[in-house]
Amino acid sequence: MTKTDTETHKECVQQFIDLANAMKNAGMDVNIVSGGLMSASALYASFLVGGNDGGLTTSGVEKVSAVYKRELERIQKLKKAANGL
């Protein structure tokens, strides 16, 4: 059976959360773990858009930032709905 993009996405997210929890359980400060994940994501997004040698233009930074903002808003909406808020 072929996985849907949504299923693959959920598995990917879970792997990152598992890694973050392993780092936390190994004694790393959760703020450092969170910052590291954010930095890694930003580096990867920059690579996807600008390649190895390129960087993001101001408009590229704004576009990537908008995607992060939408995802954060989506997650907060889901969390609030799950908690009856």
CA 30 to CA 10: how far, in whole Å?
A: 22
Convert the pLDDT of each residue in 8-40 to its tens digit: 999 999 999 999 999 999 999 999 999 999 999
Structural contact between residues 20 and 13, judged by C-beta atoms closer than 8 angstroms: no
- CA nearest neighbour of 13 among 82, 84, 71, 83: 71
Structural contact between residues 57 and 63, judged by C-beta atoms closer than 8 angstroms: no
Convert the pLDDT of each residue in 43-85 to its tens digit: 998 888 877 777 888 888 898 899 999 999 999 999 999 988 8
Q: What is the pLDDT of residue 73?
A: 97
What is this structure's pTM? 0.78
What is the residue extent of each domain of the chain?
A: 5-82
